[in-house]
Amino acid sequence: MIVPVKYEDDRLLILDQSLLPGEERYIEIQTKEAIWSAIKKLQVRGAPAIGVAAAYGLYVSVRDRNSSSFHEFAEDFKEIKSYIATARPTAVNLFWALERMEKKLFSMEEGLCFEPSWNQELAYIKEELLKEADAIRLEDENACLAMGKYGLSLLKKGMGILTHCNAGTLATAKYGTCLAPVYLGQQQGYGFKVFADETRPLLQGARLTSWELSKEGVDVTLICDNMASSVMKKGWIDAVVVGCDRMAANGDGANKIGTSGVAILAKEYGIPFYMFVPTSTIDLKTPSGADIVIEERKGEEICEMWYERPMAPAGIKTYNPSFDVTDHQYITAIVTEKGIVYPPFAENLPKLFL
Ligand code: MRU
């Protein structure tokens, strides 16, 4: 199965998702500017994958620094960390992973003995930072496997499953969040029929979800976003599964623009709506969805991108929010790597962190 972020032979490699499905090409990231731009341009995207890439990106940006003291190294580190954090505002995994790297750095300050030499200490610090990035990647892979198992327990053989955006292997360290049970079911002969919303304007459903699922032999049908209601009404959909970029303490979940509409439709048609949310995506410090910063992107993504020629009058006013918030009342259950959480979410989500 393809992985979006790899660290091999001292090289940070990112699968350039902006080229998919036409071309499968990894790019090497060596600087803070390169990781910032890869995140901003969605060459690496999806909340958990952004977190993993940012952790490695921070490491590669500091690995060649020759600082003369812990203090100097830490100052450089913090400046680079703050810079990478500005790449995108919504997915909390970006900040979560960067914070975790910083915590790791400062956890080493006490233990340093500055012997036999600071240079050796510095080499040790860098090694430990790389190990932390590896741990973030591995933990996410394991979280996805666990969500796959929990998620599969909610599904039955032969079900029709609708998904929005891409919360598959491309969006995580491996396996995906909401697509992990689909892959697991595929191995166990569940015969799911997946419907992938194309996901305007950046087409993550068309370019990425339908690509990765069909590559693994899953029965996937691509539909336009405005066809979701129609396939639900026909009775083709038994469950909706989606990912999440940031979940607030009350269970409101920000995910790709269009998700909240799908959730409202699912409720209308009596279809369960499952949001897959690793604990790294749950932000208890954010009280509700109203407090989540929603990224706004350029209007040209609506008017021009992916078209052969502009599809709107030149200079037309646009509004292009990249995410929306699904109100917790539309979410049937939240699948995490620690188990399935049911309402009341405000009461049950904090229990995951006890
Ligand atoms: O703008 P993107 O492509 O980064 O948005 C991705 C999504 O909204 C995903 O559904 C979300 O990050 C969950 S990924 C497991």
How confident is the prediction along the chain (354 residues), in pLDDT tens digits per residue? 999 999 999 999 999 999 999 999 999 999 999 999 999 999 999 999 999 999 999 999 999 999 999 999 999 999 999 999 999 999 999 999 999 999 999 999 887 766 668 888 999 999 999 999 999 999 999 999 999 999 999 999 999 999 999 999 999 999 999 999 999 999 999 999 999 999 999 999 999 999 999 999 999 999 999 999 999 999 999 999 999 999 999 999 999 999 999 999 999 999 999 999 999 999 999 999 999 999 999 999 999 999 999 999 999 999 999 999 999 999 999 999 999 999 999 999 999 999
| Paired residues of 6 in beta bridges | 13
Distance 102 CA to ligand 1 centre (A): 24
Computed from CA positions of residues 178, 179, 185, 189, in that sequence, does the dihedral angle turn out positive or negative?
positive
Task: Check pocket membership of 47 for ligand 1, CB cut-off 6 A.
Answer: yes
pLDDT at position 114 is 60
Contact, 73 vs 65, CB < 8 A? yes
User: How far is the centre of ligand 1, averaged over its atoms, from the C-alpha of 243 (Å)?
Assistant: 7
Q: Is the peptide bond between 313 and the residue preceding it cis, with omega within 30 degrees of 0?
A: no
Q: Would you say the CB of residue 326 lies under 6 angstroms from ligand 1?
A: no
CB of 245 sitting under 6 A from ligand 1: yes
CA distance linking residue 275 with residue 340, whole number of Å? 10
Report in angstroms the alpha-carbon separations of 206 from 38, 97, 163, 203: 20, 28, 11, 5
DSSP code of 295?
P
243 lines ligand 1 (CB under 6 A): yes
Ordered domains of the chain (ranges, CATH)? 5-144 (1.20.120.420), 151-353 (3.40.50.10470)
With the most atoms of ligand 1 within 8 angstroms of its CB, the residue from 14, 204, 283, 301 to mutate is 204
Q: How far apart are CA 254 and CA 244, in angstroms?
A: 6
State how far the Cα of 273 lies from the Cα of 67, in Å rounded to an integer.
51
- Is residue 245 annotated as part of the catalytic site, yes or no? yes
Please pick, among 16, 140, 245, 324, the residue that the annotation labels catalytic. Answer: 245
Indicate which atom in ligand 1 lies nearest the CA of residue 243: 13
In short, whether 177's Cβ falls inside 6 Å of ligand 1 is yes
Segment holding 335, helix H or strand E: strand 333-336
Nearest ligand 1 atom, CA 323: 8
